[in-house]
């Protein structure tokens, strides 16, 4: 006897709470694979369900062309208990006009938007639901054992991204906002816009059972180099037709702009923006993810694991390889059944478009263990990531007669202070040990040899000779004048006559040089035997202020040429100027659904006025998914920009209010405040 169904209740409130998806809202069913969910069928008067008598089948389908053989369609009948390997349904409902069904999905089916249909000769569509990866399920490839890790890497909507240099590591707040309104649908849309879906939709949907496959799709689709991806990369300094990368503070605005404008590319992003958006999409789909920063990050263009710097006699860099002051990517957590045992866990993935992988601008995922042990034959893109953290550097001078003179090199310049936000706190967690053995250790050198990329460099101790280095002042604030110093030590038995070139130039975080902002050129200096000479270079705001980029980085280069014998020595150092702090003070008690105010202020550190100053404020669960913007006009030297912002928290628990300050001469200033919202 067929059931006469009046309505189907997908029980989204109970199911979403059980499946840790309630932050997406409770108005539709969003569940995680490998964990049962309950639906209730309400029958019309006169229709009754009787166990063993009433028979029907359920059909789940995903994608435009679902097929049983590809796993994008499954048809199943009622059973006595849940299956662990296939879709199943069971019920313990007594005879009556209300039927409670427990539906179970296996832990390895494709994720995405499903339809649910009841078939009893005539098909009745019961509704739709979204199925996500499940870090709480031990059989799911993304399973994480510790609840505190799941809270951080799946459920947390705010985080910190590290920038700067090895000497000055600075934390910048970012709102991932994966549970903000519309985010999940946009992330699913991103999967549907990838070229593999366009060429074979069913094969692509079937591939979404595997977090390795999904992570590669995310890596490719966050950049727009060869598809309808989200972000355009721009390192030129010219952002007039878009948004300066340093202005972004959250993924929500970026993804909404992309989706709301028919998948038109969003201008512009740089590495930390690409990584942060990839983190949002990963967490939204249920793949644990963290944002990682590598300081002294190599970009090896010819895949020889050697960064070859070439300079002319005037110190100009004429090489193709580069070492970025920092570079940001993501780690995703997953099992790797496609590899030999031992490579499960964190996998590096990089959505910043640098080099192609299998013909597409994407990178990873590659196991951190493979990088650490130099196993470069493992998928995906192990040689490129290995070079980012462990390449050797060699430097040459090309003389005017064409001869190449080796000037120096090091096996210890690349891959330092690899950083991510700590679990459950705002502390920096150093994970360098997960990517490489201790710098300079026997193990680290053995790994380099295991990678079968030998180099001619040998580490040298403090041998006699002419030694050059750069020292800096302790306080280097944006807007201030300060000194940096060239230091030349003569550890030989003879006096030395040296030609010295010492200059400072603006540089972007990816290592690309800009305008000079200070120099000492062709100075001849006598350095007596056993003595040290110190040469100051004054850097003044009047020289660097108009050309400094939002990264606030200045590269110092010292070239010393001995007259006899004619030998070249070089030192290089990148400094980051300190930001002013944004002060954030709450005005009132933070309670859910009650208006709250915060007083925000920043002192102008520059010796000139700031024009067109404005604050941008954002916080998941605080600002209703919106960016609150306040133009505060002109702020004079040493004067304060002030803004009192009002917002209404919509959920209890720990939330993060992020603030960005922008102006004509000072931008990319971030601040944040953690707020505990009470009932």
Q: Which residues are catalytic?
A: 271, 327, 350
Q: Is 369 helix (H, G, I), strand (E, B) or coil?
A: helix
Helix pair 251-260, 271-285: axis angle to 10 deg: 80
Angle between helices 211-222 and 271-285 (to 10 degrees): 140
Is 439 labelled a binding residue?
Answer: yes
* Rounded Cα distance, 308 and 618, in Å: 43
Please give the C-alpha separations between residue 270 and each of 273, 380, 550, in angstroms, as whole numbers.
Answer: 5, 22, 12
Q: What is the DSSP letter of 214?
A: H
The helix (H) or strand (E) run that includes residue 276 is helix 271-285
Dist. CA 25–CA 28, nearest whole Å? 7
Could you tell me which of 551, 600, 12, 640 has the C-alpha nearest to residue 244?
551
Q: Is 15 annotated as a binding residue?
A: no
| Distance between CA atoms of residues 333 and 335, nearest Å | 7
CA 56 to chain CA centroid, nearest Å? 47
Torsion of CA 134, 137, 139, 140, to 10 degrees: 10
Q: How many CB atoms lie within 10 A of CB 495?
A: 12
390 labeled binding residue: yes
Q: Coil, strand or helix: which one is 7?
A: strand
What dihedral do alpha carbons 36, 37, 40, 41 form, nearest 10°?
Answer: -70
Query: Binding site annotation covers 668?
Result: no
Nearest in space to 108 (alpha carbons), one of 128, 127, 131: 131
Q: How far apart are the first and last CA of the chain?
A: 50
CB 656 within 8 A of CB 672: yes
What SS3 class is residue 435? helix
Label residue 653 left, alpha or beta by phi (over 0 means left) and psi (-120 to 50 means alpha): left
Sign of the alpha-carbon dihedral angle for 309, 311, 317, 319 = negative
Tokens of 585: 């003070």
Question: What's the DSSP call for residue 150?
Answer: H
For residue 504, which of 527, 491, 486 has the smallest C-alpha distance?
A: 486
- The DSSP-derived string for 514-565 is EEEEEEEEEEEEEE-TT-EEEEEEEE-HHHHTTT--TT-EEEEEEEEEESSS
Q: Give, for 197, the enclosing helix (H) or strand (E).
A: helix 195-199
> Is the C-alpha dihedral spanning 334, 385, 156, 112 positive or negative?
negative
Q: Report how far apart, in Å, the C-alpha atoms of 563 and of each of 204, 315, 349, 534, 650 are.
A: 65, 17, 48, 19, 71
- In whole angstroms, how far apart are CA 571 and each of 315, 413, 506? 11, 12, 16
Question: Which residues are known binding-site members for Ca(2+)?
Answer: 390, 392, 439, 444
Question: Which residues are known binding-site members?
Answer: 390, 392, 439, 444
């Amino acid at each position: 006897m067929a059931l006469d169904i009046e309505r189907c209740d997908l029980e989204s409130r109970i199911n979403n709470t059980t499946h840790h998806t309630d932050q997406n809202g409770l108005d539709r069913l969003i569940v995680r694979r490998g964990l049962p969910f309950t639906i209730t069928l309400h029958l019309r008067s006169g229709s009754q369900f009787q166990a063993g008598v009433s028979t029907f089948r359920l059909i789940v389908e995903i994608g435009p062309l679902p097929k049983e053989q590809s796993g994008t369609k499954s048809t199943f009948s009622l059973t006595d208990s849940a299956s662990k390997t296939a879709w199943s349904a069971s019920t313990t409902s007594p005879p009556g006009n209300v039927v409670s069904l427990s539906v179970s999905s296996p832990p390895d089916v494709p994720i995405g938007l499903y339809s649910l249909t009841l078939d009893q000769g005539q098909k009745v569509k019961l509704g739709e639901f979204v199925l996500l990866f499940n870090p709480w399920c031990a059989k799911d490839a993304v399973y994480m054992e510790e609840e505190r890790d799941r809270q951080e890497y799946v459920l947390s909507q705010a985080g910190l991204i590290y920038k700067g240099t090895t000497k000055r590591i600075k934390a910048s707040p970012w709102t991932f906002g994966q549970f903000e309104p519309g985010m999940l649908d946009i992330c699913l849309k991103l999967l549907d816009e990838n070229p593999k879906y366009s060429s074979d939709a069913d094969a692509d949907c079937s591939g979404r059972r595997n977090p390795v496959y999904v992570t590669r799709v995310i890596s490719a689709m966050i950049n727009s180099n060869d598809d309808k991806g989200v972000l355009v990369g721009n390192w030129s300094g010219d952002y007039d037709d878009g948004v300066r990368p340093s202005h972004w503070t959250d993924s929500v605005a970026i993804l909404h702009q992309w989706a709301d404008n028919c998948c038109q590319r969003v201008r512009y992003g740089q590495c930390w923006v690409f990584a942060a958006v990839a983190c949002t999409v990963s967490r939204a789909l249920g793949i644990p993810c963290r944002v990682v920063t590598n300081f002294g990050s190599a970009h090896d263009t010819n895949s020889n694991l050697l960064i070859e710097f070439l300079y002319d006699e005037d110190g100009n860099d004429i090489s193709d390889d580069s070492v970025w002051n920092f570079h940001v990517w993501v780690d995703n957590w997953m099992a790797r059944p496609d590899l030999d045992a031992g490579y499960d866990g964190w996998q590096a993935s990089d959505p910043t478009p640098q080099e192609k992988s299998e013909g597409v601008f994407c990178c990873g995922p590659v196991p951190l263990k493979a990088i650490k042990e130099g196993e470069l034959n493992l998928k995906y893109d192990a040689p490129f990531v290995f070079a980012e953290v462990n390449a050797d550097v060699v430097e040459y001078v090309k003389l005017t007669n064409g001869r190449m003179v080796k000037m120096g090199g090091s096996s210890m310049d690349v891959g330092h202070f690899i950083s991510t936000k700590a679990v459950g706190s705002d502390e920096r967690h150093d994970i360098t040990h997960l990517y490489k053995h201790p710098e300079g250790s026997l193990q680290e050198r053995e790994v380099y040899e295991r990678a079968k990329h030998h180099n001619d460099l040998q580490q040298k101790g403090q041998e006699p000779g002419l030694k050059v280095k750069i020292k800096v002042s302790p306080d280097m604030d944006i807007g201030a004048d300060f000194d940096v110093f060239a230091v030349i030590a003569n550890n030989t038995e003879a006096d030395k006559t040296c030609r010295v070139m010492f200059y400072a130039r603006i540089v972007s975080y990816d290592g690309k040089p800009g305008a000079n902002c200070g120099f000492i050129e062709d100075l001849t200096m006598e350095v007596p035997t056993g003595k040290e000479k110190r040469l100051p270079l004054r850097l003044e705001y009047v020289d660097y202020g108009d050309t400094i980029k939002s990264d606030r980085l200045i590269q110092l280069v010292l070239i010393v040429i001995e007259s006899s014998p004619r030998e070249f020595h070089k030192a290089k150092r990148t400094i980051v100027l300190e930001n002013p702090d944004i002060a954030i003070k709450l005005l009132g008690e933070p309670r859910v659904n009650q208006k709250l105010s915060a007083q925000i202020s920043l002192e102008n550190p520059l010796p000139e006025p700031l024009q067109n100053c404005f604050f941008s404020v954002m916080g998941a669960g605080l600002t209703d998914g919106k960016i609150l913007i306040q133009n505060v006009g002109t702020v004079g030297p040493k004067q304060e920009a002030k803004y009192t912002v009002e917002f209404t928290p919509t959920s209890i628990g720990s939330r993060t209010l992020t603030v960005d300050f922008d102006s004509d001469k000072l931008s990319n200033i971030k601040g944040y405040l953690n707020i505990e919202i009470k009932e």
